[in-house]
Amino acid sequence: MKTIDELLEEGVEGKRVFVRADLNVPLDGTTITDDGRIRAVVPTVKALADAGARVVVASHLGRPKGAPDPAFSLAPAAARLGELLGAEVAFATDTVGESATATVAGLGDGQVAVIENLRFNAGETSKDDAERGAFADQLAALADLYVGDGFGAVHRKHASVFDLPARLPHYAGHLIATEVGVLKKLTEDVQRPYAVVLGGSKVSDKLGVIDHLLEKADRILVGGGMVFTFLKAQGHEVGSSLLQEDQIPVVQEYLKRAEASGVEFVLPVDVVVAPAFPDMKTKAPTNPETVAADAMPAGQMGLDIGPATSELYASKLADAATVFWNGPMGVFEHPDYAEGTRAVAQALVDSPAFTVVGGGDSAAAVRTLGFDENAFGHISTGGGASLEYLEGKTLPGLAALEG
């Protein structure tokens, strides 16, 4: 895989460089609530602009239905990128139409433009190779070179991720090069003990990575909504907590495999419960109660790991040499149910281990709860992509850059 460092050595002055970024940031209306993914691509964009390239930044945002939708416009992200770069960033109001063509044509050396949401064109996500390829042809007309730096999208076989690199000389940006280097430390030359913390809502989202990590990790700690399927699999009452009944046999098999292979599988000893899911708009105080994990009342919903579990998990992470964390321990967005996630984040901060926060809600939680990002070894920008890499899958976007 050629990198941006090699491209910069070759020289980019006056060249149009298409940067496939990941600007898929959370929005409240037009207000960005977490700009982490935009900040992550700044080093690549700045390096190219400083070297005299004419930089064309492209990304998806949300899941529009293959047609323009103002709710998913990249305009706020383009404005924020300009603020972070300290330079004006032009914005094209379409992807490959008149605005994009004119905006790119108007770039001078060292200038940057963002084109509108790639998913406003049905060709971006089409499963039809010809339709996807036709859109990639139109995107290729906007540039001379391609730099892939949207790690959060490399597990998608989309036009701008998979097909476009085949049409232009292609390189990996700083972010993708860093992400791949980090993930290799989690899969190839792992320093032990290797502890994995998995949370989030659905156990089905993590089945593949659990299956793979049972051969790699020394211990796996589970929290979040997904933990109640594990507790149910052990025969415990889980009340009205999130539960995937159909996954219970799979989870039981994983617990047996872990015991047989000597992998320590750690589940909560207590949980924080409430009668109902909290109001996430007002964040009004609720009446949380801490109960033993094997004694949940039938009418209660589990919303966080309890304080004893937080201490247990911190102790299980204290001697680790490598830690990978993906998924919050509870409904961290509400102050009544944030302490479990805060405790895991603090344990990673306190640990001398190589610590990786695996993107998605985990990365958002770190920032929301006020932790210094530099206190972690690495905060990934790609939750789904990171998990699929750890599952051992071939990621289309990385394969395209290696081709």
Residue numbers annotated as active site: 37, 202, 360, 384
The helix/strand/coil state of 49 is helix
Q: Round to whole Å and give the CA distance between 343 and 270.
A: 14
* Residue ranges at the known binding site for substrate: 22-24, 37, 60-63, 119, 156
Q: Round to whole Å and give the CA distance between 376 and 135.
A: 39
Pure H helices in 73-149: 75-85, 98-105, 129-140
- DSSP structural state of residue 3: B
Q: Round to whole Å and give the CA distance between 44 and 31.
A: 24
* Residue ranges at the known binding site for (2R)-3-phosphoglycerate: 37, 119, 156
* Residue ranges at the known binding site: 22-24, 37, 60-63, 119, 156, 206, 302, 333, 359-362
Contact indicator for 170, 147 with CB cutoff of 8 Å: yes
Q: In what order do the strands lie in the sheet with 322-326?
A: 264-266, 219-222, 194-198, 322-326, 354-357, 378-379
Contacts of 271 (CB under 8 A, 6+ apart): 227, 290, 291, 293, 296, 302, 303, 304, 305, 306, 309
Q: Round to whole Å and give the CA distance between 205 and 333.
A: 20
CA quadruple 196, 199, 200, 206: dihedral, nearest 10: 50
Contact indicator for 16, 54 with CB cutoff of 8 Å: yes
Tell me how far CA of residue 197 lies from CA of 134, 185, 200, 253, in angstroms.
Answer: 42, 16, 10, 19
* Residue ranges at the known binding site for ATP: 206, 302, 333, 359-362
In the structure encoding, which two tokens stand for residue 277, read together?
């899911």
Q: In what order do the strands lie in the sheet with 89-91?
A: 89-91, 112-114, 54-58, 16-20, 145-148, 170-172
Contact indicator for 358, 329 with CB cutoff of 8 Å: no
